[in-house]
Structure 1
Amino acid sequence: MSDDIKKQFWKALADSPYVMLGAAGDREHSIPMNAQLDKDAHGAFWFFTATDNRLSGGGPAMAQFSAKGHDLFACISGTLVHESDRSVLDKLWNNSIAAWYEGGKDDPKLVLLRFDLDNAEIWTADPSIKGLFKLATGMTMKEGELGQHAEVAL
């Protein structure tokens, strides 16, 4: 099951790469960020941000994700680190990113953060026919009748 749910997660994130990201253990609110995915990368995704963003210093972080159709949810832990490989920046750079940085790839405020993934809890909301009937009639639900849940290493 965990491989299936991981595949569902990666597909959902590729379809809508927006997460709420915050420093782990921090009392600051999470902020919306656009995850930059690389199909060849395993265990990481990236965020473009600015030096004045409160997450720009990196460190332990948590991201929350909700799929477009609200049929998959995830809470992801990992560590934000400054990406120093210019080839990664060049590969991920696009017009949507360029619109935010007046100086382009060499803008002094530009920061590229890599989110080194640790693990995640993923939930799917895909009720069975029996589960839908129980929801509609107020019957007691049992685990697995509304979807799946897994703790996975990413």
Structure 2
Amino acid sequence: MQAKQEEDTAIRDRMWKEMAKSPFVMIGLVGSHQHSEPMTAQLDPDANGEFWFYCNKDNRIAGGGEAMAQFVSKGHDVFACIHGTLTTETRPEIFDKYWSKQTEAWFEGGKQDPNIMMLRFDLKDAEIWEGDQSLSGKLKMLTGQTIKPSEAGSHAEVAL
């Protein structure tokens, strides 16, 4: 049991590290029947269970609620489906903390745009998959050989 928890923690930590390199997710509200959309997550290395999004007040996720976010790392070797709750972030210090020139480019009125808002995604649980990083696993994939379950990578179900 302890070994499984340690493995799950290592996989979760890798997901955070990979998200820091490429903080783009597809996110949608559970039960809304609207397609998920790409958003840039604002990550904090010290926040292990939340991240943020800037969006317009008329965005399809602006109403908040139960949500699912999907993440694929740049190298396509970490995949995650993250479940949580979106709520309006009202703390000005958080809004200011993550503001950047890249963020400003998305909002015509900049930081003072009356249509801008910030959402906080509080993570509840996630399923995370790591692809096989070994040379033999990659070779088997390229040549169409059968990959054994022990060579397929790691999987974790993580409650946050």
TM-score (norm 2): 0.88
Q: Deviations over 1:99-135 (max 9, x none)?
A: 2223322211001000000111000111545645665
Tell me, yes or no, if the aligned pair for 1:72 and 1:122 is still in contact at 8 Å: yes
Mark the runs of 5 or more structure 2 residues left unpaired by the alignment. Answer: 1-6
RMSD in angstroms over aligned alpha carbons? 1.7
Moved more, 5-14 or 96-105: 96-105
**Structure 1 residue aligned with 2:69:** 63
Which of 40, 48, 53 is the aligned partner of 1:42? 48
TM-score (norm 1): 0.91
**Structure 2 residue aligned with 1:92:** 98
CA–CA separation in structure 1 for the residues paired with 2:150 and 2:107: 46
Mark the runs of 5 or more structure 1 residues left unpaired by the alignment. Answer: none
Which of 28, 36, 40 is the aligned partner of 1:30? 36
Moved more, 19-28 or 52-61: 19-28
CA–CA separation in structure 2 for the residues paired with 1:72 and 1:137: 21
With over 3 angstroms needed to count, the CA separation of the structure-2 counterparts of 1:58 and 1:142, relative to structure 1, is: same
**Structure 1 residue aligned with 2:123:** 117
Which SS does the other structure have where 2:32 is aligned?
A: coil
Equivalent AA in structure 1 for residue 80 of structure 2:
A
Which SS does the other structure have where 1:90 is aligned?
A: helix
Equivalent pairs: percent with the same residue? 52
CA–CA separation in structure 2 for the residues paired with 1:111 and 1:5: 32
Tell me, yes or no, if the aligned pair for 1:128 and 1:146 is still in contact at 8 Å: no
With over 3 angstroms needed to count, the CA separation of the structure-2 counterparts of 1:90 and 1:145, relative to structure 1, is: same
Q: How far apart are 1:93 and its partner, in Å?
A: 0.5
CA–CA separation in structure 1 for the residues paired with 2:104 and 2:112: 11
Establish whether residue 16 from structure 1 lines up as the match of residue 19 from structure 2: no
Tell me, yes or no, if the aligned pair for 2:87 and 2:120 is still in contact at 8 Å: yes
Q: Which has the higher helix share?
A: 2
**Structure 2 residue aligned with 1:101:** 107
Equivalent AA in structure 1 for residue 115 of structure 2:
K
How many equivalent residue pairs?
153
Which SS does the other structure have where 2:17 is aligned?
A: helix
CA–CA separation in structure 1 for the residues paired with 2:122 and 2:115: 22
**Structure 1 residue aligned with 2:84:** 78
CA–CA separation in structure 1 for the residues paired with 2:81 and 2:66: 14
Tell me, yes or no, if the aligned pair for 2:79 and 2:130 is still in contact at 8 Å: yes
